[in-house]
Structure 1
């Protein structure tokens, strides 16, 4: 299986092929190269970039034709899972402020 086939198998039903090719070029990946374990991180991050384009895309309606994207929550969860897999900072995770200790009083 090539890198392009691996990406196409996951998002081809939603994105046009030229968008997938652009993502490969932006990630500096050779689409005709074999899918290997060594290139897994680069491929996952390329897929995360494609998911971001889907998350920020709007549903389209024109006359009788309607294009509806998958649920954005599902796409965000998939994106977050890819980022957690590689221990990267997830931009969609909620920021919970940590309490700061200002004074310690002995009893």
Structure 2
């Protein structure tokens, strides 16, 4: 991803850099940012959650390196499973040793 040559007025260069350098490391994962919210979306195929869980760990490390605090109490996990198979069991997501709350899509 290329940074724009001009930055918005009254925007510090560091703020612009932070906004752009937190990117997905897997082709099956997307990181979407809006204001102070971040969404990690991942396609899990063949019950292989590794890329998804690694992406969350990558985001956690990135936040630590950039002195940003993840508000784990506000963090939620939503799984949308469109398969017709029996209900799958996914590993719980943990950030800094705390299990992230999983919410229902209904």
TM-score calculated relative to the size of structure 2: 0.34
User: Does 1 or 2 have the higher relative contact order (CA < 8 Å, sep 6+)?
Assistant: 1
TM-score calculated relative to the size of structure 1: 0.33
Larger Cα Rg: Structure 1 or Structure 2? Answer: 1
More helix by share: 1
